[in-house]
Structure 1
Amino acid sequence: MKKLLFLVFILIFSSLFAFKVIMVTDVGGLGDGSFMDGTWSGIVRACQEYGIEYEVIQSKEQSDYISNLSKAAESADVVFAVGFLMSDAFYKVAEQYPETYFVGIDFHQEKDLPNVMTFTFKEQEGSFLTGYLAAGMTKTGKVAIIGGIPIPPVKRYEIGFRTGVKVYNSIHNTNVEVKVVYANSFTDPKKGKELTQALISEGVDIIQQACGGTALGIIEAIKEENLKNVTSKELKELIDYMYLNGGYYMLGGDVEQEWQAPGHILASAIKRVDNASYMGVVKAFTGDWHPGNIELGLKEDGEGISRMPFTKGLVPNDLIYELEYLISLVKRGEFKIPETEDELNALRVKIQF
């Protein structure tokens, strides 16, 4: 009888003090295989680990942001807003619900609010590595980056990628060209495919994505181009062909995207949004809450390059070594990767292997 009463007490206590997390997406929504999905995976991981209730509210239009965030704040202990475009709505709602924790992913702390924690990233550090890799792997001497909307995080992606190519050119005395285009959308695969086809027609063979769900069209175009030469669906035959002849590659963004198109995605610039969202949940739930902004880069394992699970054998050992050495320089503070156009223009490469 005592045991039964104890169990009833626990159930009542749990129901009275249940903890809930709600993530509100921007218009990109889940299913992008990149930024949104990565953030959501970190929330799910933390909530399942700690037995926390969790939910997602997806925004269809920017006009949904305030209403969706308000709805979330009325029933959740922690509200996540994911995406730079949500920042204005985020702070308006956070001020209205001071008893609710708010976590912003991908934008800075704009107001000093005790219930707000934000996470930003040194995107330039991850894309620097894929830019360097692209410069070392291109067969045509032309690479590109397709951005979504030129907001600050995406511009840092662009600057980092161009820096990687610039550093490779300086060290190896090459002249790899970088093309930069913007889709002006994070949700338009059709536009991503059209831009990719146009870039391929101009001689580009490696394309970095920084455009969220729009990149699904990049993947489609890359696969179609490669399968003109390799009709087999076997990964081994594709990799063998690429090793001997080269081909076309996308470079993923935010998460390890190689699994979406094995062999067609060379590597990914990792942006550990999953670690940030996981950290946000845990800090709120355990009482380790500290308002303010947390910036994550290579040193904090918030940025990096993927393991290249399908394509690492295509990359020369010397190039792998150079990437590892460059990572060590950044982590030790001996090389700062530019994050603005002015810093990139002023960069003088003094690295030697």
Structure 2
Amino acid sequence: MRRFLWVAVLLLLVLPVFGFKVIMVTDTGGLGDKSFNDGTWAGIQRAAEELGIESEFIQSYEQADYIPNLTKAAQEADVVFAVGFMMTDALAKVAPQFPDTYFVGIDIVLDNYPPNVITFVFKEQESAFTVGYIAAAMTKTNIVGFVGGIPIPPVERFRYGFETGVKLYADLHGKNITILRGYTNVFDDPKKGKDLAVSQFAQGADIIFAAAGACGNGVIEAAKEYFTSLAGTSDLAGLIDYYYKTGQAFFAIGVDVDQDYMAPGAVLCSSMKRIDNAAYYGVVWAFEGTFESGLKVLGLKEDGVGLSPMKYTKGLVPNRVLAELEYLSTLVKKGELVIPDTQEALDAFTTPPIEFPF
């Protein structure tokens, strides 16, 4: 009898944990994009491992999949993730039908928030200005490029920030820099990203920032091939040595997560947004019962966006540039330097008088 009671107690303790389930519905880029979807999934996996709960994903292949995929997930899971701006309407339609299921939206803003929905958006412009500043400092041709996916608000905020960072450096240092722009109009075709990158490199760009989901993988591939051809080696040490000797290179800039590892030496840095942390907390809050519906906005101040550690290339960037960037980032966190988040604000932006304290 005592043994039976002990087993019953164990079951009561264990079953609720194993019965808690999270399902992520991807956007059309899917897992393996090494960017947005993978970053969200990493946060979910971290929470699942810590809490001992189940996690699954459902792949979306086209936008028509969003509503049926979210519906299916809600029928099976305690927490459902809707990943990406393009899922906004689907989330708004499905979530109210399942009031006992928690929904977490990434890069989504709703007009009305049911008590079971939380969404996260990011001040992409605040991380993108940092890579724009570095690109402006490092370009030798004075031509840099931007490759976007579909020009939805998060992608455009990356562009606004990138262009602001370029302008800030150019104005503060008396440089004249041209920015090339192009869009793949999809997120899941690396070849389109590579084709645009090749075109921009041919037009004289030596650094390209990609905010294009899996299409950005093609931009990184192009940068690696161009730099390898220039230096005569793909070895990290060889690339770095070539740059030190000649000052010449072809660089890509990664997005969403730290993509520097994808082509060490050819990815100069990455404009990160901590979608992994947002996903992690979305799961934990639901599991612990501390879930509060509404919109969460994360920027530099909240450590929701930032610059990658630049594991392979930080030594290439002059210390003065990094110090200036640190100072400017502090101004952003204090609200004393506002990075534009709309085209109108970007058009109206003028570099304020800035005196570095060093």
TM-score range normalised by the length of the shorter chain: over 0.9
Residue type at the aligned position of 1:280: G
Q: Distance in 2 between matches of 1:299 and 1:198?
A: 36
Q: Retained in 1: the 8 A contact 2:132–2:161?
A: yes
Aligned to 1:303: 305
In 1, distance between residues paired with 2:291 and 2:235?
49
Structure 1 residue 5: Cα displacement = 3.2
CA distance in 2, matches of 1:94, 1:299: 30
Residue identity matched to 1:232:
T
**Contact 1:100/1:115, CA 8 A, preserved across alignment:** yes
Structure 2 residue 17 is the aligned partner of structure 1 residue 14: no
Q: CA deviation at 1:16?
A: 5.3
2:274 is aligned to 272
Q: Which stretch shows the higher mean deviation, 232-241 or 84-93?
A: 232-241
Report the CA distance shift for 1:94/1:299 in structure 2 as closer, same or farther (over 3 A): same
SS in 2 for 1:63: helix
- Write the deviation string for residues 238-277 of structure 1: whole angstroms up to 9, x where unpaired: 1111222221000000110011111110000011100110
CA contact (8 A) 1:148 1:186 kept: yes
Selected match of 1:315 from 289, 314, 317: 317
Whole-Å separation in 2 of the counterparts to 1:71 and 1:333 = 43
SS in 2 for 1:81: strand
Instruction: Indicate if the aligned counterparts of 1:253 and 1:268 stay in contact, CA closer than 8 A.
Output: yes
Alignment-derived partner of residue 202 in structure 2: 201
Deviates more, 1:222-231 or 1:307-316: 222-231
Q: Distance in 1 between matches of 2:97 and 2:291?
A: 19
- 2:253 partner SS: strand
Provide the residue aligned with 1:294 in structure 2: 296
Percent identical pairs in the alignment equals 54
In structure 2, relative to structure 1, the CA distance for the partners of 1:233 and 1:158 (3 Å cut) is closer
AA of the residue aligned to 1:286: E
Shift of 1:91: 1.2
Between stretches 332-341 and 263-272, larger displacement belongs to 332-341
Alpha carbons 1:171, 1:352 under 8 Å: kept: no
- Check conservation: 2:224, 2:234, Cα contact below 8 A: no
CA contact (8 A) 1:159 1:344 kept: yes
Rounded to whole Å, the distance in 1 between the matches of 2:333 and 2:6 is 52
C-alpha distance in structure 2 between counterparts of 1:2 and 1:148, whole Å:
63
Per the TM alignment, residue 234 of structure 1 is displaced from its structure 2 partner at its CA by 2.5
Greater mean alpha carbon deviation, residues 202-211 or residues 229-238? 229-238
Which residue number corresponds to residue 112 of structure 1? 113
AA matched with 1:237: G
| Residue 241 (structure 2) aligns with | 240
Residue in 1 that maps onto 2:59: 58
Residue equivalent to 1:36: 37
Moved more, 64-73 or 221-230: 221-230
Q: Distance in 1 between matches of 2:147 and 2:4?
A: 61
Residue matched to 1:255 = 257
| Residue type at the aligned position of 1:54 | S
The answer to whether residue 158 in structure 2 is matched with residue 160 in structure 1 is no
- Whole-Å Cα distance in 1 between the matches of residues 100 and 233 of structure 2? 57
Q: Matches of residues 78-117 of structure 1 in structure 2 within 5 Å?
A: 78-117=79-118
Count of aligned positions: 353
2:136 maps to 135
| CA 1:180–1:98: 2 relative to 1, 3 Å | same
| Greater Cα offset, 144-153 or 243-252 | 243-252
For 1:27-52, what per-residue CA distance to the aligned partner results, in whole angstroms no more than 9, with x for missing partners? 11011111110110001001111111
Kindly report structure 1 stretches of 4+ aligned residues shifted beyond 6 Å.
none
Deviations 1:277-327 (A, max 9, x none): 011011111111111000000000001101100000100010010111111
CA–CA separation in structure 2 for the residues paired with 1:210 and 1:297: 17
Residue of structure 2 equivalent to 1:174: 175
CA deviations over 1:161-210 (Å, ceiling 9, x no partner): 00001111111111111111111010111111110110011000000010
SS in 2 for 1:193: helix
Match of 1:284 among 283, 286, 300: 286
Q: How far off its partner does 1:352 sit? A: 2.3
Tell whether the 8 Å contact from 1:252 to 1:267 is kept in structure 2 after alignment.
Answer: yes
Q: What's the offset of the Cα at 1:9?
A: 3.2
- In the other structure, the counterpart of 1:74 is 75
CA distance in 1, matches of 2:4, 2:324: 63
- 1:124 counterpart letter in structure 2: Q
Which SS does the other structure have where 2:280 is aligned?
Answer: helix
Match of 1:352 in 2: 355
CA distance in 1, matches of 2:180, 2:199: 11
Secondary structure in 1 matching 2:350: coil
The 2-side partners of 1:210 and 1:39 are apart by: 16
Does residue 1:45 correspond to 2:46, yes or no? yes
CA distance in 1, matches of 2:14, 2:75: 19
Distance, in Å, in 1 between the alignment partners of 2:334 and 2:12 is 51
Distance in 1 of aligned mates of 2:193 and 2:16:
48
Question: CA contact under 8 A between 2:88 and 2:110: conserved in structure 1?
Answer: no
Shift of 1:12: 5.0
